Structures are given as C-alpha cells and as structure tokens.
Structure 1
C-alpha cells in the first residue's frame, strides 16, 4: 500500500513523537525518585524497581513485539503498544503505593516493547526512496536520542514545579494525541501468514527477563547471592536454548543469519556498546554533580544541555555521512568520541569547574548523535522488509541490554573499588572500623551526616572509584570502535583481468543494489539475512 505524499510528514511526526515519549520515560523518572520515596515511603530497593521495572519488561519483550508486528500487522501492534503505554503512564501518575507504581511502570514497558519495533519498520515501508528514507530515519533516530538526553533537563524543573506524578502525566496527552493521529495516518501492511515461534518467544522473554533481573539485583545483593546466581543460571540456560531453537526453527523470531552479515553485526555491536558506555555515564554523572559537587537536580539537568545540543547537531550530519560514505565513518567516529569523552571525564574531580569539563559533554553528545542514526539506517537498508520488525526489535533489544549491562558492570567496578578503598579509611580517621562495610550502600547520599574528615574521605574514595569505572567504560568503547572498524572495512578491489577495467568499487558497508554504476542509481533492494550475498561482507 503506497502512502500518499501528504501523509508522510504526519507519519514521521507521529512516530517521532511517540518514540521521543518512550525514550524520555527511560530517564526522566530518575529526578522524581527522592519525592517518590518521601511520599510513598519507598526504600532504596523499591525505588530501584520503579526505574528498572520498565527496563525489565521492555528488554524481555522487545523481540516478541517485533514478531507480533510482523505476524498481525505493524500498525495494529503499534497502536496497541501506544495505548498500553499511555494507560500505564496514567496509572503511574495515580499510584498510591510503591507496588502499584512498579506495576504501572511494567505496563509502560510492555507498551514500549510493542510500539518500538513497529516504529522503525513502518518508516521502512512508508519512505521507499533511499535518500528520503535516510533523512526520515536520521530524524527519527535523532529524536529518539534527544528523548534520552533531555530527560534529566526536563525532569528536575517539572518535579520542582508540579510534583513527581507530573513526569508521568506528561505522557498522557502526547499518547492520546498520538493514538488519534496514528489511527488516521499510519498505513497497514500485509501481515505474514507463517506460524508464531512460541518456543522462541517464551525462551527469549524468560532468558532476557532473568538476565536483566540478575543484573539489577547483583550490585545490591552481591554477585554471590543465591538468588542472583540462580537467575544468572536460568538466563544462561534459557538463552542458550533460545539460540538452539532459533537455529532449527523454520520461521524464527530471531534469524541468526542476521549476524552473518558483517555490516549488520557491526551496526548491532555499535548500538550495544554506545548504550553500554553512555547509559553508565548518564547514571554516574548525576551522582557526581549532585552528591559530590553539591549541584541541585535542576542545575545538574541544565548542565547537560550542551550534550543535548550536540546530539541535535550530529544526527543529520551522521545521516548525510552514512548516505554518502556508508556507516563505517560515522560509527567508528562516534564510538571513538564517546570513548574519548568517558576517558576525559575521569580526569576531573570534586573541585573541577563546569567550564573546564563542558567540552567533555560536547564530545560525548557528538559521539552519541553520530552513532544512533547510522545504526538504524544500516539495519533498514540491509534487511528484507518482511523481517524489518525482527531486525528493529533485535537492534533495540541489544541497545536496551547494553544500557542495563553497562550500568551493572560499571557499577560493580565502582562498588568494588569503593569497598577496597574505604576498608581502612574510617579507622584511620577515628571512625568505627565497621563503618567501612556499610559505606558503599550509602555513598554518596548517606555520607552527608558523617564527620567532615570522614565525609572528605568518602568523597575522595567515590571520585577514585568513579574514575576507574569511567576508564573501564572508555576502554570498552575504544575496543568496540576498533572491532567495528574491522567489521566494516571496505572490501579489497578485485584485480581487473588483463585489458579490462574490472568492476567499480562499492561504497563501504552498502548493499550492491544501492551502488551507482555508470552514473545511474540502481533500484534500492535490501539485502536479506536469509540469503547472504557478497555485499554481506562489505
């Protein structure tokens, strides 16, 4: 079904607005947690689940959401997901207890898991011209990244002015308007008639859910806790079984041949690693600015505006670079910039002035903006339209898991370093020696009531541990940049036969069908994972 030209702008606006809302909700709630704790009498564990309940359901059901869209129609599943997300937002705003709020957040996660894969695959079908699609996906990706970036900026002032429920009420009018507009302008596409991969869906949901749950509980309970180990074992077994089932299924929800294409594998790795490093940084930066440097939530949010501005600038730039040169240049550049930013951030401590490290925020924002768009464009160019939902869900699942794993891994590095550093410090400062065993669970918030010398020791130890975590994140991103550069390296130009010119070289990372020959663009025809071609190694 061909979408009228006058509707394309409305389709893009609808998808961008709803994705902005879903991404914003990932981070905006963080600024409301202190008020939630006070009014709902939530402990630390309850507040953690207010944040992570969303991620748990979202990551566990993204692949299922993509498959349901392919099977029953992407428009229908998108509208269902948007309705559930809007209802979950209203329920969260009306919650009178921590348990009710967590349940509402999980409903939001279910809605986001259904609407996210459909959003990108609908763009793939509506914008059929290659250049037009690249611009649309670039804008969509930029708006999605912008939602993550402006969450802290908006959250503080909203909570200060209207209370914690306002961070959920803000989604309701956007969701209702999106539903009304989407019902009018979004086209429907032919659903696939093959059977659902029920074993794969069950195993993926259970495996991803157990993995995310273990990563959430690991830092709090300890990595040797019985429950954490049991969940990790369940995750390992079920995800291994999931891979076996998908390899043998005639109609898998995750086609493993997707990763045989080096370009797709490089794009997926980029999405995972950028979330690994930058979600970890986004988690630690508020702790550094608010609890150590003494900034207010609103001031700390406004301080992130340079990062937001660079994401806005970089998104169209990376889209143009991808269209002209392929994904290798923007992806490797973006990962390298983010690695540089994280490493540079580890050079600043308690007494650093904002003007000294604002360039670091600009660098990280530019790196994030350079990475988000090429990943989306690459996946949509190289995947069969019939599998667009699966590909989009795979990409977003890896991104979400990358963020959760990044926070857990870098948090574990920080916690371990903090524990070892503080083991003897309180005793040397005249405080009870057993205090050191409790500091990691209270730093930095709980350190405010300590004597000044102990407080200074705690702040110094926290900064030292934070620097180590940031350097680990920087090293991981630098390694990913090198690996992506190798995966996306251009193919060697074949030696022409004697007396012949040989085939023209192709742009790196681009399907053969999109290359220009003899000055004329050939029709766009995506490369499918089901039938790897020579373009798969480009």
Structure 2
C-alpha cells in the first residue's frame, strides 16, 4: 500500500505532461498559463507536505494516509469532469493537498518500520525505484490514455487505484505510535502562501515583465511571508520544519540537492514533451513511447544503486548520478528544430534516466540517516516538500527563460526550439550546482 500510494502521487506529477497540448486546445489555456496545470499540483503538494507530515505524527500516520488518498481520489474525479481552466486547476490543487497528507506517511512508515542500516536501505531502494520509475511511467501511461480516448482518462485512472488503496490500507498497514503535539498553522500558511507568491512572481515576469507591479508585489509578498515562516520555525515549540533537521551538514546539503535536482527533472519532461509534439509532430502515444528507453535505464540504475552502496558509499553514487543528469541536460539544450530523435534525444534521455536512478536513493538515505523517530514525519515531509517546491520553482524560472526567447507562435518551430534550448541551459545550471554540492559539501562513509 505504501509503494502503491507513492507511485500514485509521483505519477500525477508527470502524467499530465503528454496531455498538455490536448488540454490546452480543449479548455483554452494560454501558453504561459499551461504550466499552472503542473504547478498547481506541485505547489499545493510541496507547500502542505510539512503540515501533512506533522499531522501524521500527531493524528496517526495510517489515518492521515487514508484521508489524503480519499481527497486525492475525489479531486481526480473532479479534474476528469472539468470544463474550464479554473475547474481543472482547482482539481489539481486539491490533488496536491491530498497527496501532501498521504505522501509523508510513506517515508515515515519506512523510517519507523525498518531499522537504520541494510533493511532500511533495501526498503528505500524499492521506494526510490518506484518513485523514479513512476515519473517516466506517467509519461508513457499518459500517451496511451490520450491516444485511447481523451486527456480526461489521465484524471479518471486515479479513481479506482485510489479507492483500492483507501479500502485495503487499514487491513495491511500497521498504525505506528502517535506523538502528542500541536499543529503549527502559522508555519503552514506562511510557507504555502509565500511559495505560491514566489512562483506566481516568476510566471508573471514571463508574461508581464520584471517591472510589472503584479510581479514586484508578488515577490515582495513572497519575501515577507517566507521570512516570517523562518522566524516562526525558530520560535515555535513544535514547528512543522524543525530547524534542527539542518544541523547536520550532510543532511542539509542533501535537502538542498532535493530542491535542485527536481527543478532539473521537471523542466526536462515539460519542455521535451512539448518539443516532440509541437515541433517534431509526434502523437501523444508516440511521444510517451519515446520515453520507454529512459524508463528502462532508470529502473535498472535504481535497482542497482542499493547494491552499490555497501561497496562505494552514498557520495560516489550520487556524484555519478548528478554528473550524468548534468551532461544529459547540456546535450538536450543543443536541440534544433531539425534534430533527430535517435541522435539528439534518445542518447541524452538514457543518460538522464541512469542519472536519476542513481541520484535519489543515496539522497533519501543521507537525509533519513539518524533521524529521531519523533521527527520521522517532519523529515520525510520536508524531503518530499523540497522535491515538489523545487519542481514548482524550477519550472516557473524556466518558463520565464523560455518566454524570454519564444515569440509566442507555436507554428514557428525555430523560435519554439530556441526557447526550449534556453530553458534547458538554465536547467543545466541547477544540476551543475547540485553536482558541486555533492562533490564539495557532502561527506559520507561506506554503508
């Protein structure tokens, strides 16, 4: 049940990517607004993960897990029935809220049910394999569903899976011990609204310009609220993001890379899928199938990572994975409208898959190593919050970079491709920074 839930929430971070052109045509989304279909989900997901983790600690992780899955399932049904951009975005945001309360319990249940060491590493290996594979499986599944009928099937597919998890979880998942405490509502509100304002500011900059009053006000609100969030966390007796989690150098650095790497991966899927459909003329099904080699390589690399840990330790594996991601993104940034899939896309995406498969498991292990059981929910919630916020913030920045070059005419393939290349160049900066952190900041011993 734990793995099934993780697969469900990861799938929905990418499953709509292939369907974006169809959704845009059906519901009338503008080019800059299209990214909100992804961002509405990842922002609500990332912004409330910390509160979701805390809720699991206090109310019971299994109870919160099931409640989150039920809300996620209902929101998926609403999204499939949407007839306007506003309704779809509201449904995607509600999906994110449901995922935020279900997802922290997955890693927390692993952290509390498996002792630190070999057993936990095996469990995290399976978890990371499913999480990584789910990103690409979502693209393939989306292509199949859109080709089979409609983009709405991308939403409806969650309903039977979610209902099955909600019904079976109480029978197969044990309820860990609860911890007394209270909710840090101020922290949850300031972090969520602050991050939303920050992402909105970048997206507004892409359309209205950096000097627009809306852009400036959005950034000002973000700065004030995020500063208030940090002050609240330092003073709160039971914060949703205990600052002591950053007191260990390796964990703090791994959290930062959990922000940077998803900013890279989200952009690759978002822009490359539109390039394959809008520039190369691929159907949704063929665009999804084009990612099968990436998915296979990612799965094999993720399965291999836990076996390499005892021999080499976490750091060399995450360095190798991050380096592969960086090389792959640099290669993809060289795309032109006339580029061949077999040369310019296939090889870099396979390198990318190997990099993702090797990177995330040692990062998960580094973050959860030595975590006190009472902080398990907060630590796992913060881990996943970093992933989702990184994806949201990274995509907002890269959409801004894309629109700085793109002339707004989808029929102008040269301009569109130039925008994609610029966005991927900025994306390579994110992964390059993550590589430097892995090289010079993180210090780990062999398992």
TM range (shorter): over 0.9
Residues 46 and 98, structure 1, Cα contact 8 Å, conserved in 2: no
Question: Which residue matches 1:370?
Answer: 358
CA-based RMSD of the aligned residues comes to 2.1
Query: Is 1:260 matched up with 2:247?
Result: yes
| Offset, 1:129 | 6.1
Query: Is 1:412 matched up with 2:418?
Result: no
Query: Is 1:381 matched up with 2:335?
Result: no
| Offset, 1:324 | 4.0
Question: Which residue matches 1:313?
Answer: 300
Aligned equivalents of 1:60 and 1:217: distance in 2?
20
Q: Secondary structure at the match of 1:224?
A: coil
Aligned equivalents of 1:465 and 1:99: distance in 2?
27
Q: Secondary structure at the match of 1:31?
A: coil
Question: Which residue matches 1:484?
Answer: 438
Larger mean Cα displacement after TM superposition, 175-184 or 188-197: 188-197
Residues 59 and 208, structure 1, Cα contact 8 Å, conserved in 2: no
Larger mean Cα displacement after TM superposition, 242-251 or 384-393: 242-251
Cα distance change on mapping 1:37 and 1:274 into 2, 3 Å: closer
Larger mean Cα displacement after TM superposition, 132-141 or 42-51: 42-51
Q: For 1:209, which of 196, 211, 214 is the aligned residue?
A: 196
Question: Which residue matches 2:263?
Answer: 276
Residues 276 and 407, structure 1, Cα contact 8 Å, conserved in 2: yes
Aligned equivalents of 2:388 and 2:443: distance in 1?
26
Question: Which residue matches 1:453?
Answer: none
Query: Is 1:394 matched up with 2:382?
Result: yes
Q: For 2:315, which of 328, 333, 356 is the aligned residue?
A: 328
Structure 1: unaligned runs, 5 residues or longer: 1-13, 419-439, 448-457, 491-506, 511-538
Question: Which residue matches 1:51?
Answer: 38
Q: Secondary structure at the match of 1:347?
A: coil
Aligned equivalents of 1:92 and 1:57: distance in 2?
15
Query: Is 1:159 matched up with 2:113?
Result: no
Query: Is 1:102 matched up with 2:89?
Result: yes
TM-score (norm. length: structure 1): 0.78
Q: Secondary structure at the match of 1:441?
A: coil
Question: Which residue matches 1:246?
Answer: 233
Question: Which residue matches 1:4?
Answer: none
Query: Is 1:472 matched up with 2:439?
Result: no
Aligned equivalents of 1:466 and 1:214: distance in 2?
21
Q: Map of 1:99-248 to 2, 5 A cutoff? A: 99-128=86-115, 130-248=117-235
Question: Which residue matches 1:501?
Answer: none
Q: Secondary structure at the match of 2:339?
A: coil
Q: For 1:36, which of 23, 41, 57 is the aligned residue?
A: 23
Residues 17 and 139, structure 2, Cα contact 8 Å, conserved in 1: yes
Residues 47 and 188, structure 2, Cα contact 8 Å, conserved in 1: no
TM-score (norm. length: structure 2): 0.93
Aligned equivalents of 1:47 and 1:240: distance in 2?
29
Deviations 1:433-467 (A, max 9, x none): xxxxxxx233xx2x2xxxxxxxxxx4334434433
Deviations 1:95-120 (A, max 9, x none): 34333322222211110010111110
Aligned equivalents of 1:482 and 1:49: distance in 2?
30
Residues 264 and 382, structure 1, Cα contact 8 Å, conserved in 2: no
Structure 2: unaligned runs, 5 residues or longer: none
Aligned equivalents of 2:32 and 2:333: distance in 1?
28
Aligned equivalents of 1:322 and 1:294: distance in 2?
42
Aligned equivalents of 2:261 and 2:33: distance in 1?
28
Deviations 1:360-398 (A, max 9, x none): 111000001111211222222231111011111111111
Residues 241 and 378, structure 2, Cα contact 8 Å, conserved in 1: yes
Aligned equivalents of 2:237 and 2:21: distance in 1?
50
Larger mean Cα displacement after TM superposition, 211-220 or 243-252: 211-220
| Offset, 1:225 | 2.4
Higher relative contact order (CA 8 A, sep 6+): 2
Residues 135 and 316, structure 1, Cα contact 8 Å, conserved in 2: no
| Offset, 1:47 | 4.5
Deviations 1:242-283 (A, max 9, x none): 111211222221111222211102211222111111211111
Deviations 1:500-536 (A, max 9, x none): xxxxxxx25x6xxxxxxxxxxxxxxxxxxxxxxxxxx
Question: Which residue matches 1:437?
Answer: none
Aligned equivalents of 1:250 and 1:174: distance in 2?
38
Residues 22 and 112, structure 1, Cα contact 8 Å, conserved in 2: yes
Bigger CA radius of gyration: 1
Q: Secondary structure at the match of 2:16?
A: helix
| Offset, 1:43 | 4.8
Deviations 1:40-82 (A, max 9, x none): 4555566544333222311221111111111211111111101
Aligned equivalents of 2:202 and 2:102: distance in 1?
25
